[in-house]
Amino acid sequence: MSDKTIPVRRRGPARPLSIEQLETGLQLLSQGDVNHAAFWDANIGAFRRTVLLAIRDTSDALLSSTMRPHWRVELENQLAVLIQYIELADRYVARRSFSPEQRSSGRPGASFRIH
């Protein structure tokens, strides 16, 4: 398995991912030739930042008093899914921080997958 990652800038705090970076990451994950643990170790910060921005934008949109009811329901559903992604990312970061020897075995990606 290769250690492919989403091409993310490495200096400073993790920046949100672009649409192209998200699509590239999904393609790499779906191809099955990526070490999932190494992939998420390299990209979890940027992924988490991206989801946090999506939560903020979705929450801001829900504050609109002129939103049509069907759009409000759609955004509320999307917000719930985004919150689940943050919870998954946080659990991954916590587990990665807690158990570095488990991470080096290459197995965490097999039992824990964000995508």
Decide: 87 and 55 in contact? Cβ < 8 Å. Answer: no
User: Are 29 and 36 contacting, i.e. CB atoms less than 8 angstroms apart?
Assistant: yes
| Tokens linked to 96 | 């990665």
List, for residues 57-88, the tens digit of each pLDDT value: 999 999 999 999 999 999 999 999 999 999 99
Q: Which residues contact 27 (CB under 8 A, 6 or more apart)?
A: none
Query: Which residues are within 8 A (CB) of 33 and not within 5 positions of it... i.e. 6 or more apart?
Result: 1, 2, 4
**Predicted TM-score (pTM) of this structure:** 0.73
pLDDT tens, 2-38?
A: 555 555 444 556 789 999 999 999 899 999 888 988 9
For the record, the structure tokens of 21 come out as: 């970076």
C-alpha span between 112 and 37 (Å, rounded): 9
Query: If residue 7 lies in a helix (H) or strand (E), which one and from where to where?
Result: none
Exposed (0-12), middle (13-18) or buried (19+): which is 10, by Cβ within 10 Å? exposed
